[in-house]
Amino acid sequence: MDNRLAKAFVGIIELRDEYTSTHSKNVAKYSLQLGKKLYLNETTLNNLRFAALLHDIGKVAVPDAILHKKTNLTEDEFIKIKNHSIIGANIVKEANFNRTIIVGIRHHHEFFNGEGYPDGLRGKCIPLISRIIAAADAFDAMISKRPYREAFSSKRAIKELKNCAGSQFDPKIIDAFIKLFKDNKLEI
């Protein structure tokens, strides 16, 4: 895997959309803290870092009018947004990133209960890296101010994650998140 290529992709995300760029870096920051708390080895942490940084690279293929739309999305627009996980996986596959990173990106919107996308995978069938990114992704989205709502406090965001443990998120990963937060070790 090529570090410079990853950097170039991060640069493309930056050019395209500032929110996605900042968000991707934050997701990588939280994902790594979770990965370390879960005692993942160096190789897995490295794969996690790249997959987290590039998890939304597929959004480069989503038109601005949809990506930045402030009103409700039509069904067709929602399908186009949802395709970003498959497109992202295909982009890094073409660039010869390893399989862990490819599937990590493809499945970052799966739900622990099987109700996510693109493949409706359930529980531990969802790659570990994707389960970590999913929790980090939701946390950063909640604590960020969006055009349509104020930012949540970290405490409230952690509570929301807890409410969705077992349905949207892997409970073990949420436990690790809560521990980091309660021990004041979560670097925001």
Chain residues binding Fe ion by CB under 5 A are 56
Q: 13 or 42, CB closer to Fe ion? A: 13
Distance in Å, CB of 151 to Fe ion, minimum? 19
Distance in Å, CB of 20 to Fe ion, minimum? 9
Report whether 145 contacts 151 (CB < 8 A): yes
User: Each residue of 59-96: b (16+ CB within 10 Å) or e?
Assistant: bbebeeeebeeeeeeeeebeebbbbbbbbbbbbbbebe
SS3 call for 11:
helix
Give the CB-nearest residue to Fe ion.
Answer: 56
Q: 56 or 110, CB closer to Fe ion? A: 56
DSSP secondary-structure letter at 135? H
Q: 12 or 178, CB closer to Fe ion? A: 12
Indicate the angle between helix axes 42-53 and 128-143, nearest 10 degrees.
50
Q: 17 or 56, CB closer to Fe ion? A: 56
Distance in Å, CB of 172 to Fe ion, minimum? 22
Distance in Å, CB of 87 to Fe ion, minimum? 11
